Chain A
Amino acid sequence: MLQEEVYVTQPKGFVKEGNETKVYKLKKALYGLKQAPRMWYSKIDGYLKKKGYMRSENEPTLYVKKEGKNDFIIICLYVDDIIYTSSSIFLVHEFKSQMMNEFEMSDMGLLHYFLGLEVYQIEDRIFISQRKYTSDLLNKFGMSNCKPAATPMNLNEKLQQQDGGEKADAKSFRSLVGGLIYLTHTRPDIAFSVGVISRFMQQLSKLHYGAAKKVMRYIAGTLEYGIWY
């Protein structure tokens, strides 16, 4: 239930004849309302707690429920995306039916895509990568057909704030660095070079842009990289 008083104008299709000058007072949150995300979170958090799933104190997105001596189910919540795993197939079915009864949710089956991370599960191994994200990033900066580089950075390259180089486009550089930072979620190999180029958001010169392009050329040649578990 909403804590605040919120009024909305009569939306199309919900106009009361004879009362066109009046407004509606909201009882529940609507999509797009400032309070909506908070309301959703308190609803799902309350529901999971009621059903015996304990929220981890160390990682707020994790909920764990123990069953009997050895069995447990782990739930990872990201707004309305939920991934879960368990030691017992019974707990999986129980959780799935609980969620589908309580909320309008659909079962997407085995996890293969989460927050831009691609997940491949085969037998006893799992592979995560951002192949599609990487190629979209290269496309966005018109580098999908660039010449791949063997390393993300030149050996002993020393970049500095004021290098006297020509000024470069700061806006697209920031977007590029932001895109690369997200890519470090599956690519520890570029973590250092991305850390270095992200220091030059102000005082940007063509030399810094060149270093960023070098990282892009490296990932262009290593699209398939990811991590095996």
Chain B
Amino acid sequence: MFGFTDSDWASSIDDRRSVSANVFTLGSGAITWSSKKQATLALSTSKAEYVAATSAACQAIWLRRVLTDLQQEQKVATEIFCDNKTTIYMTKNPMFYSKTKHIDIRDHFIRDLVTKEEISMEYCSIQK
């Protein structure tokens, strides 16, 4: 199972919020997908991607559990592909920076999952 995440920064011109999107594929086909305007205002593209990656991670956790119920336990971390290197770095390094200190706790949920090796964030350039 693989996941893909992306975001569209500040696309809503009424409130400048971004859109999160993700798709999960299992075997050959797409099994779940979502496109949803974010509930918080992202100050940068990295933050928008970070919020999108967190919601993708939540979906990954649920999918892993359902697959376990269906006798298809995922033994390795679920890879989620993202086209923003800063975001990936932010999920892997649980440090406290002045530029990320405003990010809400709920959006840092993804760090916990990466540390526990339930998911792993990978880079995927837009050319591929």
Could you name 28 residue pairs across A and B whose Cβ atoms are closer than 8 Å?
A56-B69, A57-B69, A58-B62, A58-B66, A59-B66, A62-B69, A64-B69, A64-B71, A158-B11, A159-B13, A160-B13, A161-B14, A184-B33, A188-B23, A188-B33, A191-B21, A191-B33, A191-B35, A192-B21, A194-B35, A195-B35, A195-B36, A195-B37, A199-B14, A199-B37, A227-B30, A228-B29, A229-B27
Cβ of B34 under 8 Å from chain A: yes
CA distance A188 to B29 in the complex (A): 12
In the bound assembly, the distance between CA atoms of A74 and B34 in angstroms comes to 25
Q: Which residue of B lies closest to A85 (CB)?
A: B70
Docked complex Cα distance between A74 and B11 (Å): 42
Q: Which residue of B lies closest to A72 (CB)?
A: B71
Chain A: number of interface residues, binned into ranges: 20 to 34
Q: Cβ of A62: which chain B residues have Cβ within 8 Å of it? A: 66, 69-70
The reply to whether B71 and A227 form a contact with Cβ atoms under 8 Å apart is no
Assess whether B28 is interfacial by the CB under 8 Å rule: yes
Count B interface residues, CB 8 Å. Answer: 23
Q: Please report whether the interface of chain A is mostly helix, strand, loop or mixed according to DSSP.
A: mixed
Against B, the Cβ 8 Å flags (1 = close, 0 = not) of A57-84 are 1110010101000001010000000000
Cross-chain contact B69 with A228 (CB below 8 angstroms):
no
Which residues of B25-47 have CB atoms within 8 Å of chain A's CB atoms? 27-30, 33-37
User: Which A positions have Cβ atoms within 8 angstroms of B?
Assistant: 56-59, 62, 64, 66, 72, 74, 158-161, 184, 188, 191-192, 194-195, 199, 227-229
How far, in angstroms, from A192 to B28 measured CA to CA in the complex?
A: 22
Residues of chain B with a CB closer than 8 A to A194's CB: 35
